[in-house]
Amino acid sequence: MRAPAIIWGLPLGVVAVGSNLPCHFKPSPNATAENHPGAHKHGHTESFPYNLNRLSEVPVATICTSNNGTEELACARKYIDAIDEQLAFLYARRLGYAGVAGHSKHRAGNDLNDPSRNEQVSEGMAQRVLKYGGSLDAGRVMGGEGCQIYASLEYEVANIQEACDPDFNEEFPRPCN
């Protein structure tokens, strides 16, 4: 906690401006401990088919097997919507950590984009998704291959601009549209 000590050390009446203090990731006001998919204040929690707080309650998709195609499709969509709520929460949390990593690299004077790390992350996600019963290729895209890493890097740039340095910019190759 170096920053507070520096602020307290200033003479009274002197405003501590950002420039000589280390500048860090600034989360969205929506990123709070209370704002998670299983929270009761979340409103539509009750309409989800399982407890979104518990990963072990996410059923295998055969739960929707039915000879009635209309019912089967509606069931699949209900579970997709529930899982999307969980994925969105985790992804927003994950973006926060990408934002922290971006700030760390920026303060060290390094590029945010680190292609060899990007490759490791997408390959790691591919292997994890395979382990849980999905496919390597779907996991690789989810892990950042293509547009996803570009959008995440843009998020990091925007946070550095907003929190620390309005003039900061870094261009990234965008391998998709």
Calpha distance 152→150 (Å, rounded): 5
Which residue, 47 or 70, has its beta carbon nearer to ligand NAG? 70
Instruction: Using alpha carbons, select from 79, 77, 132, 33 the residue that is nearest to residue 142.
Output: 132
- Residue 29 as a binder of ligand NAG (CB under 6 A): the answer is yes
- Judge contact between 45 and 37, C-beta under 8 A: yes
- Residue 133 as a binder of ligand NAG (CB under 6 A): the answer is no
Calpha distance 156→112 (Å, rounded): 8
- Residue 162 as a binder of ligand NAG (CB under 6 A): the answer is no
Calpha distance 94→117 (Å, rounded): 16
Q: What is the closest distance, in whole angstroms, from the C-beta atom of residue 141 to ligand NAG in the complex?
A: 25
Q: Which residue has the tokens 């919507």?
A: 81
Q: What is the closest distance, in whole angstroms, from the C-beta atom of residue 30 to ligand NAG in the complex?
A: 4
- Residue 20 as a binder of ligand NAG (CB under 6 A): the answer is no
User: How distant is the alpha carbon of residue 142 from its chain centre?
Assistant: 12
Classify each residue of 16-26 as buried b or exposed e, where b means 16 or more C-beta atoms within 10 Å of its C-beta: eeeeeeeeebe
Identify residues 37-76 at the interface with ligand NAG (CB under 6 A).
68, 70-71
Which residue, 57 or 81, has its beta carbon nearer to ligand NAG? 81
Q: Which stretch binds ligand NAG (CB under 6 A): 12-20, 24-32, 119-127, 169-177?
A: 24-32
Which residue, 27 or 134, has its beta carbon nearer to ligand NAG? 27
Burial class (CB in 10 A: 0-12, 13-18, 19+), 172: middle
Q: What is the closest distance, in whole angstroms, from the C-beta atom of residue 45 to ligand NAG in the complex?
A: 14
- Residue 120 as a binder of ligand NAG (CB under 6 A): the answer is no
- Residue 30 as a binder of ligand NAG (CB under 6 A): the answer is yes
Q: What is the closest distance, in whole angstroms, from the C-beta atom of residue 43 to ligand NAG in the complex?
A: 10
Q: Residues in the site for ligand NAG, rule: CB under 6 A?
A: 28-30, 68, 70-71
